Amino acid sequence: MPRPLILTTLILTAAAQAAPDPRPEPDPRFDLTAPSEIPAPPPAANRLTPNPTGQTLTIDNPDELLQQPELLHRALSSAAIAGNAQAVKLLLPVYRRLPEPKDHTLLDLAEGIAAHADGHYTRAVKHLQRAHRAMPQAVIIRLRLAQALKDDHRNLAAESHYQTLLDTDLPPEARTALQSQLDEIHNRSRWQTELNANYTRDNNINNAPSQRTVRYAGGTWTLPEPQKAQGIAYNAGLARDINLPGHWRIRSETDAYGKTYWDNHPYDDHTVRTALGIAYKSGRSEAALLPYHQHRWYGGATYARENGLRAQWQRQLSERHRLITAAETGRPRHPHRPSADGRDSSLSATWVYLQSPRQYLTLGADLARKRARDPDEAYRRKALRASIVRIWGKGLGTALTAAYARRKYDGAFIVPTLRSDREYTATAAIWHNRLSFRGITPRLVTVWHKTDSNIPFYTYRKANAFIQLGKTF
C-alpha cells in the first residue's frame, strides 16, 4: 500500500475512534433530555488485526511471545500504529516484561494508547509527549497526542498539533477528518445559548392557606383569599469559555429566569445573574470559581441586589458515576426591606448514576443558611432530592423528581412560636422525540408543592401543569 494511502487510512480510523467528548453526562441542572449512551466494555479477545497490510495474527497465549521478542515487537508496533487499543492492552503487559534493550518510544506510544482507552487522559498525554519528543516527525504519534490532549481538554495544545498535521501534505480525506477534530475544539469556545419557556397558570400565586379563618395564639385570624395569575415562565442562559494554556479557561455566564403575568403584574418576578471567573477542565473533572452579580425585580421594582462568589466542582468517579458539588456565598441588599439584609450561603452535592444507556438516577442534598438583620427573616434549610430519567422505546422519555426540605427560622414574627416548615415537591415530565421541530421538543410537565408549617398562616399547597418548549444552541 503506498504511504499516502496508509497515512490517510490511519488518520481516518483515528478520527473515527475519537470521542467528541469523553463520557458525556446528564446536565447537572437535570435537563429532561436523554442521557448519553454508556459505551460497553470491549470483549476479551486474542485475535489481533492491527496492521495496515490487513494481515491477521492469532495468538493463543500472549506470554508465548516472550520467547519471540521480534514477533512481539512487530505485533505491538502494528497494533499501536493502527490504534487498536484492545490489541495494545493485550500485548503491552507482555512487552513490559521484555529485558533491555527494548523500544521505549514504542513503549510510550502503547502506554499512551492504553491509558487513553481507559479514560486516563493525563497519563496518556504524559507518555505520548515523551514519544513525540523522541520522534517529533512521526505523524501517527502526533495524531495520538493531539487526540489525547483534546480529550483531556487541553484545547490550545491540541489545536496546535492538529494545525501542524493539517499543514502537511495530506490527501483530501485525511484533511477532512482532521478538520472535523479541529472544528470540535473550536466549538468548545463558542457561545452556548439555552432558552426555555412555557405558559403558566397559578391558582394561588400569593401562597394563601387553604383555610380562610384560623384560630391561633388566642385569637381568630382571617387570611387572604388565593389570587390567580397566568402568564409566561422562562429561563435563558448564555455561556462561553475562552481557552487558556493547559486545562485553564476564562468562563463567562449570564442567566435570566422568572415569570411575568399579564393579568397580575404585582407578582411578576425576574432575576438576572452574570458571572465571570476562572475554570479548570480535564477529561475527568471540572472546577470553577465564579464571582457574580445578581439583580432581582419583583412587582416591577428592585427587590434585591447581590454580589457573591460561587465555587463548583465535579468529578467522573467511574464510567457510570459522577459527583457534582457547589458552594456559594453572597450578600444581598434589599432597598425596600433592609431587615432582610445579611449573608446567604449554600452547599449542594449531587450523585449521578447512569444505570443503563436509557436511564439515569440522581440523589442530592442541599444546605442553605440565610442571615438577616431581623431574626424572623433568617433561617436554616436542609433538603434531599432524587430523580429518575428514562428513555423508553421509539423516543418516548419520562422524568420524575421528588424533594423534601426542612426550614427553621431563627426568630418569631408577631406570634411567639419559632416558625418551622416542611416542604414537599414532586415533578413529572413526559416527551417524545417524534414531536420535535427544529430542535425543539415539547415537554408536558406537572409540578406539585406542599408546605406544612407549625404556624397555620404559612401552610399551603399548589399544583400546576404546562407545556415547556426549550432549545439549546
CA atoms within 13 Å, Cβ hemisphere of 431: 24
Q: Quick one: how far is CA 260 from the chain centroid?
A: 29
Question: Tens of pLDDT along 18-50?
Answer: 433 333 333 333 333 333 332 233 333 333 333
Looking at residue 63, what is its pLDDT?
67
Adjacent-strand bridge partners of 324:
314, 350
Give the confidence band of 58 by pLDDT, cuts at 50, 70, 90: low
Cβ atoms 175, 164 nearer than 8 A: no
**Domain termination residue (choose one: 155, 187, 219):** 187
Please name the residues in contact with 40: beta carbons below 8 A apart, sequence gap of 6 or more.
Answer: none
The answer on 350 and 443 residing in a single domain is yes
Same domain, 278 and 397: yes
Same domain membership, residue 159 and residue 242: no
Cα–Cα distance for residue pair 248/399, rounded to 1 Å: 34
> Residue 86: which CATH number?
1.25.40
Q: What is the CATH number of the domain that holds 211?
A: 2.40.160.40
Among 166, 187, 208, where does a domain finish? 187
Q: 165 with 221, same domain? A: no
Are 217 and 166 contained in the same domain? no
Domain co-membership, 378 together with 240: yes
How many domains in the chain? 2
346 and 408 part of one domain:
yes
Say how far apart CA 245 and CA 235 lie, in whole Å.
33
279 and 330 in a single domain? The answer is yes
Q: Do 199 and 326 belong together in one domain?
A: yes
Residue where one domain finishes, among candidates 187, 215, 248:
187
Distance CA 430, CA 398 (A): 4
Give this prediction's pTM. 0.81
Query: What confidence score (pLDDT) does residue 218 get?
Result: 59
Range of the domain at 371: 192-472
pLDDT tens digits, one per residue of 402-417:
999 999 999 887 777 8
Do 58 and 206 lie in a common domain?
no
Same domain? For 182 and 203 the reply is no
| 178 and 265 both lie in a single domain | no
